[in-house]
Amino acid sequence: MANYELYYWSNIQGRGEFVRLALEDAGADYVDVGRGPRGDDAVARGMKGGLGGTRPFGPPYLRHGKIVVAQTANVLAYLGPRLGLVPKGEPARLAAHQHQLTIADFVVEIHDTHHPEGPTLYYEDQKPSSRRRAAAFLAARLPLFMGYFEDVLEENGGRHIIGRSVSYVDLSLYQIALGLGYAFPRAFGRYQKKIPRLMALRDRIAERPGIAAYLASERRIPFNEDDLFRHYPELDK
């Protein structure tokens, strides 16, 4: 049996991708349960309980022996020390968790560019408000979050967000930078010259052996319009 079981939807990168990247970078022994024979049913069933541990509200969640842990940032806080993806010591671990929670906030705002009226309506049923929301996101919120992380990176010497080695936060910022480039090629293409350190970080992470192998494999789900990062040209002004 694999050491780690990741439970996440099989057809999207979504929030699960932040966990997949950590597991893949570390070469961890894991199964992506939703993408296996038991499929998304197993992911849904786990949320009804029965896996042991604390019942998750939503995916991604991880099972490791008797532990079941949910909430992306919490999953990564659990995995970080075990996978060597966070520096030792409480200050660094708190810093990593803090940054990951900020990323979780940012993820909600990214999602809300195409679902400003919530997840119960299709994008097609909330297009006018999506245009307004995406315009405000691109003008004010994207620069606020990415500018913050650019500053943190610079203050820490430019190569890593925390400490002197790659952490799960660096991997998550890689995914954010890549996803924004997919969703908003025009607007993010214009903006990215203001965050040179984050863009260099993105390029360095892509070359890490575990990540490069993952990106070249069928395990990496392509970006798509059922996902968190969606490319709708009408929102990319």
Ligand X SMILES: N[C@@H](CCC(=O)N[C@@H](CS)C(=O)NCC(=O)O)C(=O)O
Each residue 13-42 as x (binds ligand X by CB under 6 A) or -, in order, gives: -xx---------------------------
Residue of 59, 80, 87, 179 interacting with ligand X (CB under 6 A): 59
Nearer to ligand X, 50 or 119 (CB): 119
**Residue 78: Cβ-neighbour burial (10 angstroms; 0-12, 13-18, 19+):** middle
> Nearer to ligand X by C-beta: 7 or 187?
7
Q: Which of residues 102-121 bind ligand X (CB under 6 A)?
A: 104
3-state SS, residue 10: coil
Q: How far is the CB of 60 from ligand X (least distance, A)?
A: 6
Number of residues that bind ligand X (CB under 6 A): 8
Instruction: Name the residue among 219, 211, 173, 225 with its Cα closest to residue 195.
Output: 173
CB of residue 118 to ligand X, shortest distance in Å: 10
| Cβ closest to ligand X, residue 55 vs residue 204 | 55
Rg of the chain (C-alpha set): 18
Residue 71 C-beta: closest distance to ligand X, Å: 5
The C-alpha atoms of residue 21 and residue 6 are separated, in whole angstroms, by 12
Residue 203 or 226 with smaller CB distance to ligand X: 226
Q: Which is nearer to ligand X, 72 or 113 (CB)?
A: 72
- The verdict on whether omega for the bond into residue 87 sits within 30 degrees of 0, i.e. cis, is no
Distance CA 130, CA 127 (A): 5
Which of helix, strand or coil describes residue 48?
coil
Angle at 207 between CA 21 and CA 177, to 5 degrees: 60
CA terminus-to-terminus distance, the chain: 48
- 58 contacts ligand X (rule: CB under 6 A): yes
Per-position x/- string for 69-108, each x denoting binding to ligand X as judged by CB under 6 A, each - no binding: --xx-------------------------------x----
Cα–Cα distance, 134 to 183 (Å, whole number): 11
Contact positions with ligand X (CB under 6 A) in 121-180: none
Nearer to ligand X, 71 or 167 (CB): 71
- What is the DSSP secondary-structure string of 75-105? HHHHHHHHHT-S-SSHHHHHHHHHHHHHHHH
Using CB under 6 A, which of the segments 56-64, 84-92, 166-174, 179-187 binds ligand X?
Answer: 56-64
Q: Which residues bind ligand X (CB under 6 A)?
A: 14-15, 58-60, 71-72, 104
